[in-house]
Chain A
């Protein structure tokens, strides 16, 4: 299979956020990294495009994305003080959406920084 090459990819494993990584991928997994350190290389190789997990779980049982989204919305909507927490290993775009959601549900939004 032909390898795809991505240049100037960005590693988000640590705060260095190195953006000079070259990634060779075979469609499902990254088979080679250039310039990444050991931690970065492990990070890239540890995530694949395989379907290793169900789309979603509700109460531990496989569920569809739609059902899971509805269930999540229901829980958050009904809560008095929901918490939106984490925001470390996600993009700024996701963080923006998370703040918007926290505002909509009248919750608290917090990150790793507070730990």
Chain B
């Protein structure tokens, strides 16, 4: 993990005159992003709202978000890294050959214009979505984009932010960081946190058949993971906590129904910019919360003869 130059969404609302979405389709996946945080909001230093802002969309296909953009740049699939590298060279005034650019699906003129707009912005932001961070070369892509944003600060104010997906996935990162020091994929089998993406990430573990039991909460991997990983979950004792009986529940040994987060379960969640928000549930669930159930499982395990690292 390298650095990241970022901000809260209110900074974008109040200041951003150049908004770039890269590899995402906010119009359909984050429907209120434009209206609540970015494009159409009138901000303190962008009083005319949409008129004061320019939006550039970079994606491999024309999604409904393109309609909202002033400029749509269609990149060939898997060429994001090349585009990002070219932009980094251009903003530093390095020479770039038109041929290398050609394979990205964009022209040198388009990229020069893009680079100039970024340098000239008063406050620019790069939002990047799954299309960039979840495709081939995902870590390289994100790193290149974060570097681009950091380097633009030699010319103007520029920030970057991932368009985090569902629910409280951001909170998961935040909580794991303060409890274990790492954002995800943490192995506690030696009694202290170890982190090695690729080794301790769920799909890798399941594909290798390393786990011999699983507790799933706040996710339905049965609907999203590669089949061999799901097959392994079906082989081992899997426990699912969910407000509904899900795909994964059906292959699990144990399912426990829980209250729905934010609807009937109270607590805290984090927005994509890591701002914590309280939940105000409107309903009272007949089921316990996930928090409750996990705590009860904890207590039930804690009653058994203690295990300490090195004794198992």
- Chain A residues with CB under 8 Å of chain B are 4, 6-20, 23, 25, 27-30, 37-40, 44, 47-60, 63, 65, 68-73, 75-115
A-side contacts of B272, CB under 8 Å: 15-17
Whether A92 lies near B256 (C-beta < 8 A) is: no
Residue contact A65 to B239, C-beta cutoff 8 Å = no
Which residues of B have CB within 8 Å of A92? 168, 171, 174-175, 267-270, 276
Q: Tell me, in angstroms, the Cα distance from A104 to B296 when the chains sit together.
A: 13
Tell me the minimal C-beta distance from A67 to chain B in angstroms. 9
B175 touches A95 (CB 8 A): yes
A29 and B254 alpha carbons, distance in the complex (Å):
27
**CB interface residues, B 239-267, toward A, < 8 Å:** 239, 241, 243-245, 249-250, 252-257, 260-267
A60 to B212, CA, bound (A): 20
**Within the complex, which residue of B241, B262, B267 is in contact with A93, where a contact is CB–CB below 8 Å?**
B267
State A98–B188 Cα separation when bound (angstroms): 12
A73-B297, A91-B266, A114-B185 known; A86+B221 contact, CB < 8 A: yes
Residues of chain A within 8 A (CB-CB) of B190 are: 106
Q: Provide 18 A-B residue pairs closer than 8 Å at the C-beta atoms, listed in order of the A residue.
A: A9-B281, A15-B163, A47-B264, A50-B286, A72-B239, A88-B218, A90-B291, A91-B171, A91-B265, A93-B268, A95-B175, A98-B215, A101-B215, A103-B191, A107-B188, A112-B169, A113-B172, A113-B185
Q: Given A14-B165, A87-B169, is A65 in contact with B189 using a C-beta cutoff of 8 Å?
A: no
**In the assembled complex, how far is the CB of residue A47 from the closest CB belonging to chain B, in whole angstroms?**
4
Measured between beta carbons, the chain B residues less than 8 angstroms from A52 are 244
* Contact B211–A48 (Cβ < 8 Å): no
Closest chain-B Cβ to A34's Cβ sits at a distance in Å of 12
- Which of B10-18, B28-36, B99-107 touches A? B28-36
Given contacts A91-B261, A94-B291, A111-B169, contact A77 B32 (CB under 8 A): no
Shortest distance in angstroms between A105's beta carbon and chain B's nearest beta carbon? 6
Q: Which residues from A are CB-within-8-Å of B267?
A: 91-94
Whole-angstrom distance from the CB of B210 to the nearest CB of chain A?
6
In the complex, which of the residues A9, A14, A39 has the most CB atoms of chain B within 10 Å of its own CB atom? A14
Residue in chain B with minimal CB distance to A4: B282
B96 within 8 A of A: no
**Do A10 and B172 have beta carbons less than 8 Å apart?**
no
Residues of A within 8 A of B250 (CB): 60
**Contact (Cβ within 8 A) A114 B201:** yes
Contact of B218 among A76, A77, A94 (CB under 8 A): A94
Q: Which residues of B contact A90 (CB under 8 A)?
A: 167-168, 217-218, 241, 261, 290-291
How many of B's residues come within 8 Å of A, CB to CB? 110
User: Are A69 and B297 in contact (CB-based, < 8 A)?
Assistant: yes
| Distance to closest chain A CB from B111 (angstroms) | 29
Cβ–Cβ contact B205 & A108, under 8 A: yes
CA–CA, A12 and B264, complex, Å = 12
**Shortest Cβ distance from B226 into A: residue:** A115
The stretch from B63-71, B82-90, B113-121, B176-184 touching chain A is B176-184
Q: Check A87 against B218 for contact (C-beta < 8 Å).
A: yes
B197 within 8 A of A: yes
Closest to A30 in B: B282
Alpha-carbon gap, A71 to B213, bound state (A) = 12
Distance of A39 Cα from B294 Cα, bound (Å)? 28
CB distance from A69 to the nearest CB of B (A): 5
Q: In the assembled complex, how far is the CB of residue B96 from the closest CB belonging to chain A, in whole angstroms?
A: 33
Identify the 9 closest CB pairs spanning chains A and B, nearest first: A91-B267, A86-B219, A73-B300, A79-B213, A90-B218, A37-B31, A87-B172, A114-B201, A15-B164
Q: How far is the CB of B83 from chain A (nearest CB, A)?
A: 24
Question: Within 8 Å of chain A (Cβ to Cβ): is B146?
Answer: no
Decide: B215 and A72 in contact? CB cutoff 8 A.
yes
For residue B51, CB closer than 8 A to chain A, the reply is no
Please indicate the chain B residues that have their CB under 8 angstroms from the CB of A38 in the complex.
Answer: 31
CB distance from A99 to the nearest CB of B (A): 5
Query: How distant is the Cα of A76 from the Cα of B189 in the complex, in angstroms?
Result: 13
